[in-house]
A and B are shown apart, each in its own frame.
Chain A
């Protein structure tokens, strides 16, 4: 079956009333979360993980994907109107968008951003349809050593590429791996780090770790430093674009995905780098250089298109390889585990209805988002007036609901608080949270693949590198690890060359 006919079947799944409802719920929630400060798509999906206990997987993932894409749309609204990015992906949108709003062109900035997201998301999703089955085919016969290599890549990438300090990223990863060790060893039933407690023998549920680190940690951290004065949103009318603006921006909309999609697919920190690169590229290509910094519309259109396309790229790696490249993808991976589904090359064969329904729903969600955001952006901006005590009390409330729903144990709430306090300390001392979450989610699985691979090779370490796939993945890992060294060497060479020229 080719990708096109699978996609058509996917639309059959996505357009059923119940799945349309979940897509709508997802994009509404996502936009709200994008607009709201303090709550990002990763935290939102983490807080919603308990619905996996009651909902069938297709509906749940359609909703999660809607949240992911919706948050990208909503995030740029606050960037433009308030100069405070709702999400890290929307930081760049503030650079040109906010000056535009200040000079009375807020409506155009919002429109350029919304259409940019639409274009980027559409192109990105089309690339996803074209590429994902091919990647899955290529990777279809990968075995334990290859899976282990992918997970090592995820660990290394998430600690080295993100954040400013590798050592702090590594510390965070190890905390996550430790939390993942708690419980019975999956292969032998040996108790590890349970201290004789029956409840700990079940392990610490991923939901509790994700909710604790993302939601409780964040709420406590904000509570300790709550800003008592909040900014005022610039009032703005309905977003629209004149002909002149469209002529200036259509190329930017199309260029954005070329940068965003590949960066989303590799573990390089999601949308932050590609939005910035797109900004730089647009600035260089612009014919209106004098406007930059004062509100150049291309500087909104390009990066926003790149950010939505990067979300699609992220889904390629997550669905075909089980490799999470962003926090949202990591939490979605946890949701797959809750359902006992292993994302990876076989997903397209085994769960074809789920995957293609999910992909088709992305197109549906994109249309819904454009319809929601283009006329309603000023209404969404009103969400910013929600009193902060209610917002963060609400986050704590839903975190408690989610953790309790896992097993109906009051002890889980105590564990949740403890993990939340760890998350608080991590934020205080600049330990990134994402490596810890990836460590908990992938750690136990990585250990199993490692042991399986070594079982096959009868203990010989060469069993870990006996496939071309794993060798190439380790080559990438080596490149990431050695990158700072290579860069230093490169700079040294350049410098010495320059001094020779002088």
Chain B
């Protein structure tokens, strides 16, 4: 599953990392789009700052055992995150690009379909909210149905049936056979 292809045409970006002297607003936008990987650097930087702040504000005088306390490793990890963020930024500005992951069902020639991703994330969040009040069988069925719908399945009669069947069978297997409790919800109370 790791047959990777470069995203977009591999443009020979200039090795110094400088762009044209006076970038217009449009140029700037395309520059940002081409260098969107810098966002990863920002995230790594932010993560590093969070880890370091948390480690340095730790109050450890109470229970330190041994020469290394609970602070040392987080500090090392935090510094590592900051360093990697800078190194990655240098790499990106020099024209390095992370290759988007390919795969059998993946078509990288089309732009990303954000609507589907957002719909799926929404359906998943709804499941997290619903699972306790309505129980797993209902919430799970809604998750499967909603996800299949978001992914483009439009079999109005078949989809809900498959969703309900899958959810009920899974509930029975986990709850009764494997002994992993899942919330039954009001529906299971009635049955």
Q: Which A residues are closer than 8 A to B by beta carbons?
A: 37-38, 40, 50-51, 53-55, 78, 84-88, 91, 164-165, 167-168, 170-171, 174-175, 177-178, 181, 185, 187-190, 192-193, 216, 219-228, 230, 272, 387-390, 392-394, 396-398, 400-401, 404-405, 408, 410-411, 413-414, 417, 420-421, 424-425, 427-431, 447, 450-452, 454-455, 458-459
Contacts and interface: CB of A to CB of B under 8 A. Distances in A.
Given A171-B84, A400-B143, A404-B131, A192 B180 contact: no
B184 interface: no
Given A38-B104, A397-B140, A177 B77 contact: yes
A405 B84 contact: no
Top 8 A-B pairs, shortest CB-CB distance: A430-B98, A459-B67, A54-B178, A455-B66, A389-B153, A393-B147, A37-B104, A413-B128
Interface string B65-94: 111111001100100110011011001000
A190 B68 CA distance: 13
Nearest to B149: A389
28 contacts: A37-B104, A54-B178, A55-B178, A88-B3, A167-B87, A168-B88, A174-B84, A181-B73, A187-B70, A190-B60, A190-B70, A223-B113, A225-B110, A226-B106, A226-B113, A226-B116, A230-B105, A388-B152, A390-B153, A394-B144, A398-B170, A417-B125, A425-B40, A425-B43, A429-B100, A431-B40, A454-B67, A458-B67
A54 B174 CA distance: 9
A174 B180 contact: no
Contacts of A230: 105
Interface string B104-128: 1111101011101100110111011
Contact of A227 (B85, B98, B107, B125): B107
A230 B152 CA distance: 14
Contacts of B151: 223, 226, 388-389, 392-393
Contacts of B131: 404, 410, 413
Contacts of A401: 136, 140, 170, 174, 182
A224 B114 contact: yes
B95 to A, nearest CB: 13
Contacts, number: 246
Contacts of A190: 58, 60, 63, 69-70
Choose among A189, A190, A230, A431 the residue with the greatest number of B CB atoms under 10 Å from its CB. A190
B132 interface: yes
Nearest to B125: A417
Contacts of A455: 65-68
Given A178-B47, A397-B167, 18 more contacts: A37-B103, A54-B178, A85-B104, A177-B77, A221-B101, A223-B113, A225-B108, A227-B104, A393-B151, A396-B144, A397-B144, A400-B143, A401-B140, A401-B182, A421-B121, A427-B101, A429-B37, A430-B99
Nearest to A217: B101
B121 A51 contact: no
A417 B105 contact: no
B110 A400 contact: no
A174 B80 contact: yes
A164 B4 contact: yes
B82 to A, nearest CB: 10
Contacts of B178: 50-51, 53-55
Contact of A188 (B63, B98, B147, B183): B63
A50 B106 contact: no
B129 interface: yes
A188 B70 contact: yes
Contacts of B81: 174, 178
A190 B63 CA distance: 8
Nearest to A219: B120
Contacts of A178: 47, 51, 77, 81
B129 to A, nearest CB: 7
A84 B104 contact: yes
B153 A387 contact: yes
Contact of B106 (A54, A225, A387): A225
B188 interface: no
B187 interface: no
B166 A167 contact: no
A500 B166 CA distance: 71
A90 B153 CA distance: 30
B125 A222 contact: no
A189 B59 CA distance: 12
Contacts of A414: 125, 128
Nearest to A446: B73
B51 to A, nearest CB: 6
A396 B124 contact: yes
A228 B69 CA distance: 54
